[in-house]
Chain A
Amino acid sequence: MKNDVEDRRPRILGVRFGVNPNSSSLGVDTTYLLFGGTAVVAAALFLSAWLRGRKAEPIGKASE
């Protein structure tokens, strides 16, 4: 994690797709585990491209 933090290249560290309507379903999405590393690479590339050029709106008191 320390290397990731200090990395000068913009990076996707992880993603959680979907939203949770339950008290406890923060857990396992079997869909993405099925496709293993291929899914990681595809998701990281897609999200990097998706985020490119977008403007952030900080939320939470200490985000600004």
Chain B
Amino acid sequence: MKVRAEWFGGIASLEFPRALVSINRAMMRRLGVAQSERWTGEDPGHLSAPTEVHLVVSRRCGAGCKSCYVDATAQGPALSESQAKRALDALADHGVFHVALGGGEAMDLDYLFELARYARSLGILPNLTTAGLTLTAAQARQCTLFGQINVSVDGVGDAYRQARGFDGFARAQRALELLRAVKKEVGINCVVSRSSFDHLGDVVAFAKRLRLNEVELLRFKPAGRGAATFAEEDLTPQQGRAFYPKARWLTLRHRMRIKLDCSFAPMVFWHRPPLWVARFFGVVGCQGGNLLASVMPDGQLTGCSFGGPAEASIFDRQATQRALDHGFGAFRDYAQKAPEPCRSCTYLSLCNGGCRVVAQARGDWWQPDPGCPKVQEHQGASFRPAAA
């Protein structure tokens, strides 16, 4: 069982059940870690390194989804195999537990499975997101190398075409069936937009029918090609308020594990779940530069795949260490600078003000997430989403 020391004690990574468990120093000692240099001094206020990193291996993809958040194209840049392996070496040095391989279409890279094997050899669990449009049975069999694999399905049937701009649903379904035939940890990623909101139940029912293990609902983000349509596709205030009850209902109705991405945290916390329960189960908002970071196709380390400054090159060991120790201020400093209504919000320490990328798209990186119902109430009943 792998453990990484942190100021409060440490984080243990379990293979079964798959989990990252935060434990205190006494528990670390019980597990055989008698002392750590991280147990001295004051609480740094952040982890020593992310627990997981999104490795954007390429911006290369021929699908041409109309809202692709990395603006991927058929000729987009990609890390070479040796660069990707060096990035994994660096992440392993810092004790990163998981990587999410994505892009672009990672499946199109001829070194993807070798990269997954290499990650495993370093003790890092590789996970994958794919559109699945070109997945073959032979590729699917190799996908047992990965932990969780999610296929992007933003709607069922014609709703897929409306969301993505082309008819790829049948191919995505075939990919899910091929993957599910060889492993259990297969799920769906579904982007939630104003136009797809009413059809989420169809996606969850579809996942249940294919015996998938989870549906991850991702907020539509104003990044890449999505920036151009964000004003039309951002959730309405009414949808924002109704979203969490809807997700809970779908969980119960279909007995399906539903996960919501970090940018949905304000919509959840507005319903006031018990704070201590949320803290225990790691229900969090923006964790850029803390739990989560990204490595982009040029090797730059960022707090988030969707935005924020480059902090270091992952290939520069010292710069990466400086960034992990003292960088990521664009994300880590929000709670200290938070204006109202975030400043007085009970959930600030978990939510961290919602999505910085959405805030930026609405005019100011440091403003509270304009999609938060509490923020909308604070701004008055006249609130309406502004143009991006």
Whether A49 sits at the interface, judged by CB under 8 Å, is no
Given known contacts A4-B24, A22-B54, A22-B189, is B277 in contact with A62 (CB within 8 Å)? no
Q: Is the CB of A12 within 8 A of B20?
A: no
Residue in contact with A24 in the complex, picked from B18, B147, B282, B305, CB distance below 8 Å: B305
Whether B284 sits at the interface, judged by CB under 8 Å, is yes
Contact count band on A: 35 or more
Given known contacts A62-B38, A63-B5, is B27 in contact with A21 (CB within 8 Å)? no
B contact set with A: CB distance below 8 Å: 1-5, 7-10, 12, 14, 17-33, 36-38, 43, 48-49, 51-52, 54, 56, 69, 92-95, 97-98, 100-102, 123, 125, 127-129, 146-150, 185, 187, 189, 214, 216, 218-219, 221, 244, 247-248, 251-252, 257-265, 268, 273-274, 276-285, 287, 291-292, 294, 304-306
Q: Is the CB of B279 within 8 A of A30?
A: no
Q: Is the CB of A40 within 8 A of B129?
A: no
Within the complex, the shortest CB–CB distance from A61 to chain B, in Å, comes to 6
Q: Is the CB of B27 within 8 A of A22?
A: no
Within the complex, the shortest CB–CB distance from A26 to chain B, in Å, comes to 5
Q: Is the CB of A28 within 8 A of B268?
A: yes
Q: Is the CB of A22 within 8 A of B216?
A: yes
Q: Is the CB of B4 within 8 A of A25?
A: no
Contact with B along A12-36 (1 / 0, CB 8 A): 1111111111111111111111101
Residue in contact with B18 in the complex, picked from A18, A51, A59, CB distance below 8 Å: A18
On chain B, the residues within 8 Å of A29 by CB distance are: 257-260, 281, 283
In the complex, besides A17-B18, A20-B100, 9 extra interface pairs with C-beta distance below 8 angstroms are A4-B24, A14-B279, A14-B280, A19-B125, A19-B127, A22-B100, A27-B284, A28-B264, A63-B5
- Main SS at interface, chain B: mixed
On chain B, the residues within 8 Å of A39 by CB distance are: 277, 281
Q: Is the CB of B262 within 8 A of A56?
A: no
Q: Is the CB of A21 within 8 A of B281?
A: no
On chain B, the residues within 8 Å of A43 by CB distance are: 280-281
Within the complex, the shortest CB–CB distance from A48 to chain B, in Å, comes to 8
A contact set with B: CB distance below 8 Å: 1-2, 4-5, 7-34, 36-37, 39-40, 43-44, 47, 50-52, 54-64
Bound complex: CA of A51 vs CA of B160, how far in Å? Answer: 43
On chain B, the residues within 8 Å of A57 by CB distance are: 1-3
Given known contacts A1-B43, A24-B261, is B23 in contact with A12 (CB within 8 Å)? yes
Within the complex, the shortest CB–CB distance from A42 to chain B, in Å, comes to 11
On chain A, the residues within 8 Å of B218 by CB distance are: 22, 24-25
Residue in contact with B98 in the complex, picked from A20, A28, A34, A36, CB distance below 8 Å: A20
Instruction: Report 25 cross-chain contacts, Cβ distance below 8 Å, ordered by A residue.
Output: A1-B43, A5-B24, A11-B24, A12-B27, A14-B282, A16-B282, A20-B100, A21-B149, A22-B54, A22-B150, A24-B54, A24-B221, A24-B292, A25-B218, A26-B291, A26-B292, A27-B260, A28-B268, A29-B258, A29-B259, A33-B268, A36-B277, A40-B281, A59-B95, A63-B95
Bound complex: CA of A17 vs CA of B291, how far in Å? Answer: 14
Q: Is the CB of B31 within 8 A of A51?
A: yes
Bound complex: CA of A60 vs CA of B90, how far in Å? Answer: 10
Q: Is the CB of B2 within 8 A of A19?
A: no
On chain A, the residues within 8 Å of B127 by CB distance are: 19-21
Within the complex, the shortest CB–CB distance from A22 to chain B, in Å, comes to 6
On chain B, the residues within 8 Å of A16 by CB distance are: 19-20, 51, 281-282
Given known contacts A29-B259, A56-B12, A62-B48, is B265 in contact with A15 (CB within 8 Å)? no
Q: Is the CB of A56 within 8 A of B31?
A: yes
On chain B, the residues within 8 Å of A24 by CB distance are: 54, 218-219, 221, 261-263, 292, 304-306
On chain A, the residues within 8 Å of B51 by CB distance are: 16
Residue in B closest to A29 when the chains form the complex, CB atoms = B259
Q: Is the CB of A23 within 8 A of B23?
A: no
Within the complex, the shortest CB–CB distance from B149 to chain A, in Å, comes to 6
Q: Is the CB of A26 within 8 A of B262?
A: yes
Bound complex: CA of A30 vs CA of B217, how far in Å? Answer: 11
Within the complex, the shortest CB–CB distance from A16 to chain B, in Å, comes to 4
Residue in B closest to A46 when the chains form the complex, CB atoms = B17
